[in-house]
């Protein structure tokens, strides 16, 4: 019997499959703007196949237990206000429906106009920002709904140490949050493009925070935001599994 791939390998394969999906979608859009129907169809097919493969890897990742991501043996935090957060995420998901619907419908009209006039200008000038809006709205709609289910499953776990790494530059990746738990285990999380960011907490270590969820549907909950009072959720995804190894654990300075 063939050995099952490790979790880091599954995460890497899923990431590559999603990148292939995005590449196929972008190529399909570009071909459609230039009216290359055959190239557009092939690119769409390739993107669809890559997306199905990514979903298969995702199902395998979700089979791993909760303790892969969180220290279940330490118990769930019971601080006031934590129990209502999943319902709050559900509401945040619903709020994304109007934006997503508007962008999707308008994008379809712009593409139709571009094809009717046989001019790529409408699709380039209006279609690209509308496409980003459609993806952003749909991602928020699905993402916060998934996080609500995931956090409801795992509960919130108290964080002992938080270290936020912010990268500089125009093409810099999103900030990484290294989390340390009471039992000495650690996990590295990458923030997700959102109006809820964590960069404002960079350099602070005396931060009260909790973390909940699994895999790509995780949330770091801070005591407050930069401009918003009350519990402040930052959407994140795990870069890898939680580790207790001192040699591979994040270094907090």
Q: What is the pLDDT of residues 209-239, one digit of tens each?
A: 999 999 999 999 998 877 777 889 999 999 9
**DSSP helix/strand/coil, 41:** helix
Whether residue 55 has pLDDT greater than 80: yes
Residues 90-112, mean pLDDT to the nearest whole number: 88
Please give the Cα distance from 211 to 3 (Å, whole number): 32
pLDDT of residue 46: 95
pLDDT of residue 42: 94
- Domain residue extents for the chain: 1-63, 83-153, 157-238
* Whether 231 contacts 224, CB under 8 Å: yes
Q: What is the pTM of this model?
A: 0.82
Please give the Cα distance from 82 to 224 (Å, whole number): 13
Predicted confidence band at 1 (pLDDT cuts at 50, 70, 90)? Answer: very low
Predicted confidence band at 126 (pLDDT cuts at 50, 70, 90)? Answer: confident
Phi-psi region of 35 (alpha: psi -120 to 50; beta: other; left: phi over 0): left
Please give the Cα distance from 178 to 187 (Å, whole number): 6
Predicted confidence band at 248 (pLDDT cuts at 50, 70, 90)? Answer: very low
Closest C-alpha to 235, from 248, 223, 221, 224:
221
Closest C-alpha to 162, from 231, 229, 222:
222
Whether residue 252 has pLDDT greater than 60: no
The label of the residue with tokens 């791993």 reads: 64
Please give the Cα distance from 76 to 157 (Å, whole number): 5
What does pLDDT average to over the chain?
86
Please give the Cα distance from 80 to 144 (Å, whole number): 21
Backbone angles phi, psi at 218, to 5 degrees: -115, 160
How many residues does this entry show for the chain? Answer: 253
Helices (H), 118-183: 121-122, 128-154
Closest C-alpha to 243, from 157, 177, 184:
184
Pairing of strands 176-180, 217-222: unpaired
For the stretch 19-40, pLDDT in tens is 999 999 889 888 877 778 889 8
**DSSP helix/strand/coil, 116:** helix
pLDDT of residue 3: 63
Predicted confidence band at 246 (pLDDT cuts at 50, 70, 90)? Answer: low
Residues 196-221, mean pLDDT to the nearest whole number: 88
Least confident among 66-70, 85-89, 104-108? 104-108
Higher pLDDT, 226 or 160: 160
Whether residue 5 has pLDDT greater than 50: yes
Residues 168-184, mean pLDDT to the nearest whole number: 85
Phi-psi region of 184 (alpha: psi -120 to 50; beta: other; left: phi over 0): left
Predicted confidence band at 2 (pLDDT cuts at 50, 70, 90)? Answer: low
For the four alpha carbons of 4, 5, 8 and 11, in that order, the dihedral sign comes to negative
């Amino acid at each position: 019997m063939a050995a099952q791939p490790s979790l880091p390998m599954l995460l890497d394969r899923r990431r590559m499959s999603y990148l292939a999906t995005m590449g196929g979608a972008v190529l399909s859009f570009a071909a459609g703007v230039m009216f290359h129907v055959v190239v557009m169809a092939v690119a769409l097919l390739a993107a669809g196949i890559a997306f199905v493969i990514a979903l298969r890897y995702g199902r395998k990742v979700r089979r791993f237990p909760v303790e892969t991501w969180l220290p279940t043996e330490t118990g769930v935090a019971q601080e006031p206000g934590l129990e209502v957060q999943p319902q709050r995420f559900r509401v945040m998901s619903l709020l994304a429906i109007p934006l997503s619907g508007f962008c999707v419908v308008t994008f379809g009209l712009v593409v139709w106009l571009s094809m009717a006039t046989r001019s790529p200008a409408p699709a380039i000038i209006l279609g690209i920002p509308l496409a980003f809006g459609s993806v952003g709205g749909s991602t928020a709609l699905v993402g916060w709904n998934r996080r609500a289910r995931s956090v409801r499953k795992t509960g919130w776990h108290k964080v002992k140490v938080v270290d936020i790494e912010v990268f500089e530059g125009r093409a810099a990746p999103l900030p990484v949050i290294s989390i340390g738990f009471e039992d000495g285990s650690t996990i590295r999380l990458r923030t997700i493009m959102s109006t809820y960011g964590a960069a404002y907490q960079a350099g602070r270590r005396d931060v009260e925070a909790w973390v909940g969820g699994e895999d790509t549907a995780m949330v770091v909950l801070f005591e407050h935001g930069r401009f918003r009072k009350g519990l402040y959720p930052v959407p994140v995804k795990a870069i890898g599994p939680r580790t207790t190894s001192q040699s591979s654990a994040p270094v907090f300075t």
